[in-house]
Amino acid sequence: MSIPDLAERLAQQPRAILAHSPTPIELMPNLAKALGTEAKLWVKRDDCTGLAMGGNKARQLEFYFGEAQAQNADTVLITGAVQSNFVRSCAAAAAKLGMQCHIQLEERVPKDDPLYRNSGNVLLDKLLGAHLTSYPEGEDEAGADAELERMADDLRGQGRTPYVIHLAADHPPRGSLGYIVAASEILGQLQEVDLKIDRVVIASGSAATHAGTLFGLKALGSDIPVTGVCVRRGADVQAPRVLKTCDAIAGILGCANPVTEADVTVTDGYIGPGYGRPDDGTREAISMAARMEALVLDPVYTGKVMAGMIGLVRDGSIGAGENALFIHTGGTPAVFAYANDLAEVLEA
């Protein structure tokens, strides 16, 4: 698919501009030196997208809020983990666009730490004026979405016009369109400086960012392989989810899916104890990124993805002379909520 053709299809989708873009691509020479590799390690700074401390969700929310505005919604509902970057960014977007925001926080991570419960993204949710409720389950996407719909019905009864951002993969992944835009942005930036990237390393959770990036690159004729680092599910479950999301993107845009099963690469070797639970590899990655490149990573997503990139360097998958691009999807506020989990790093 040509760039003009893809751009035209995207332009037909309602969109509310929220993200600061383009975000820069920077070299990480100190990290490469510390790892003893002659590969060049790069970072796409999507932690710099603005919108209440930035992150990848700003790009995704442009297409959800675009549809919400097209439907004349005055209220948005969303669900996520207690320290969800998505719900915090949603609260920020709602405030910016003059809408009410209702956030449902799921018990996805078994933590009673007061910092986890009250600091980081939760503090920002409240500061941004969101209405918070709790959902007792953490692995029940259908149930969480159903509860959002019930809340939306209550709001309609109060005379409001709600828009629901669903969690489960059986709903249109409009947020993925933001990373098709990002993929086009990346290719343009690489062309400007005549840089060839040999691999992209990215978080694979809901699959929206992973699938959107992969779809965008393939649709624009790029064969750059994308390695998704699983942060929530095993590879056997995550790979089909990525492909299914790509199929759904094609349905939204009314085009063929350029992504095949062979294009989907995921690794679940860096999940550690589970979603939102860092291990020593995550802590090491957070420490190295901060002290060598002044990059602030979080224990839920980017810390695990950086651990994945470090692992790929150490096992030779990213070899000498190669250029690898780490997509920094943000998550900065969560660092404050996980201060106790990072005690060893802080004391080292």
Which residue among the candidates 2, 84, 89, 176 is catalytic per the annotation? 84
Quick one: 223 and 106 in the same domain?
no
- The count of domains in the chain is 2
Quick one: 256 and 274 in the same domain?
yes
Quick one: 51 and 62 in the same domain?
no
Contact 39, 28 (CB under 8 A): no
- For the cut 80, the answer to whether the pLDDT of residue 4 exceeds it is no
Q: Which one-letter amino acid corresponds to residue 129? A: G
DSSP letter for each residue of 16-43: ---S--SPPEEE-HHHHHHHT--SEEEE
**In this structure, what token pair is assigned to residue 64?**
């959800």
Instruction: For residue 345, name the pLDDT band (cuts at 50, 70, 90).
Output: confident
* pLDDT tens-place string over residues 14-57: 999 999 999 999 999 999 999 999 999 999 999 999 999 999 99
Last residue of a domain, one of 133, 149, 165: 165
Q: What range defines the domain where residue 79 resides?
A: 58-165
Contact 272, 203 (CB under 8 A): no
Quick one: 114 and 241 in the same domain?
no
Average pLDDT for 105-126: 96
pLDDT of res. 2: 66
* pLDDT tens-place string over residues 206-228: 999 999 999 999 999 999 999 99
Reported pTM: 0.97
Distance CA 231, CA 14 (A): 30
CATH number at residue 135: 3.40.50.1100
- For the cut 90, the answer to whether the pLDDT of residue 348 exceeds it is no
pLDDT of res. 346: 78
Quick one: 205 and 270 in the same domain?
yes
CA angle 274, 276, 281 (to 5 degrees): 70
- Where on the phi/psi map is residue 155: left (φ > 0), alpha (ψ -120 to 50), or beta? alpha
Q: What value does the mean pLDDT of the chain take? A: 97
Tokens 């097209």 belong to residue:
70
Quick one: 291 and 210 in the same domain?
yes
DSSP letter for each residue of 132-176: EEEES-SS-HHHHHHHHHHHHHHHHHTT--EEEE--STTS--GGG
pLDDT of res. 347: 79
Quick one: 25 and 68 in the same domain?
no
Percent of the chain, pLDDT > 70?
Answer: 99
* pLDDT tens-place string over residues 283-332: 999 999 999 999 999 999 999 999 999 999 999 999 999 999 999 999 99
Distance CA 251, CA 255 (A): 7
Quick one: 314 and 325 in the same domain?
yes
Reply yes or no on whether 287 is catalytic: no
Quick one: 208 and 151 in the same domain?
no
Last residue of a domain, one of 135, 165, 195: 165
Average pLDDT for 2-13: 87
Quick one: 134 and 265 in the same domain?
no
Quick one: 218 and 257 in the same domain?
yes
- For the cut 70, the answer to whether the pLDDT of residue 3 exceeds it is no
Quick one: 242 and 343 in the same domain?
yes
- For the cut 90, the answer to whether the pLDDT of residue 1 exceeds it is no
Last residue of a domain, one of 116, 146, 165: 165
